[in-house]
Amino acid sequence: MKTALITGVNGMDGSHLADLLLEKGYEVFGVERRSSVKNRTNTSHLERNEHFHFLTADMTDQNSLYRALKDSSPDEVYNLAAQSFVGSSWNIPMQTSDVNGLGVLRMLEAIREYQNDTERQVKFYQASTSEMFGKMVENPSSETTPFYPRSPYGVAKLYSFWMVKNYRESYGMFACNGILFNHESEKRGIEFVTRKISNGVAKIKLDLADSISLGNLDSRRDWGYAPDYVEGMWLMLQQDEPDDFVLATGVSHSIREFLDIAFDEIGIDNWENFVTQDPKFYRPAEVDVLRGDATKAKEILGWTPKTRFNDLVRKMVRNDIKLIQQKLGGRL
């Protein structure tokens, strides 16, 4: 039985990855930060699984990361912990840099020390991001495309990307960067635009709201389905040699297209009367379009996205309608 350690397990990707690894017969340890109120919305079902265990550690505390490694003795480490909301990175650039940049360095150092102490090899996955491409020097972007990040979030992630490559080349560590383009699911946080739309549309459907306030509607993103993408993470660590891979659908869609499908799910063709634009939701430096080329992942990993954009959007809207109805006791 393999053992895996997942940081950021309570997030969207972390919870989907935990489910996948448990299905594959892993013993799974999930790292969460210490807090007075546990944020286990996505992972409460795992509390009843005898092969899943919560650990407390923090990306700003290297000793706690080392203890998590000692407590779990992992074959694989998936670092999904981050300050994950791009928009907030302008308001908290130092915290974003500390967690998303230096936090990865702390984890790499903890793994290096753990490997030296135990003589065990640990395979490491780092959650990199398409936001490192930012201004899109090439469209679509691949593993060889020059980076041009446009946010503190993207800059911090770029630091960690190069640190992973440096530790791989300096110490022979099995360390991979997964450069994932946008991926969503029903577990996405409510502050993200996709979930903000699906939740807002659900509330409009149930007569609990009459509008959604958004920013730039013309931004285009390469959107896939998170459960498909966590399988790609796992595949990267099953290879004989470590490498970096782009995961993407190769097709970009605008926020307007997302709105078209979301409102169509509730029978509304003309959504303009239900959506307002607020300048506070615009980014100081906008990323107009992101689109990826996952040819390398297809050829080496055998990975391809399975879920269509249309199905992804409809899944999210249906799930939010169901969640709201359950919350209100089925009275609607």
Residues labelled as active-site residues: 129, 131, 153
Number of CB atoms found within 10 A of residue 270's CB: 7
Q: Which tokens belong to 296? A: 């390398």
As a whole number of Å, the CA-based R_g of the chain is 20
Give 245's Cβ-side CA count (13 Å radius): 29
Q: Are 160 and 134 in contact (CB under 8 A)?
A: no
Query: CB burial class (10 A; 0-12, 13-18, 19+) of residue 83?
Result: buried
- The DSSP code for 292 is B
Chain-centroid distance, C-alpha 99:
15
Query: CB burial class (10 A; 0-12, 13-18, 19+) of residue 215?
Result: middle
Query: Locate tokens 């946010």: which residue?
Result: 151
Distance CA 63, CA 200 (A): 42
CA proximity to 188, closest of 60, 6, 3, 13:
13
Chain-centroid distance, C-alpha 119:
31
β-bridge mates for residue 254, sequence order: 220
In DSSP notation, 140-183 reads: SB-TTSPP---SHHHHHHHHHHHHHHHHHHHH--EEEEEEEPPE
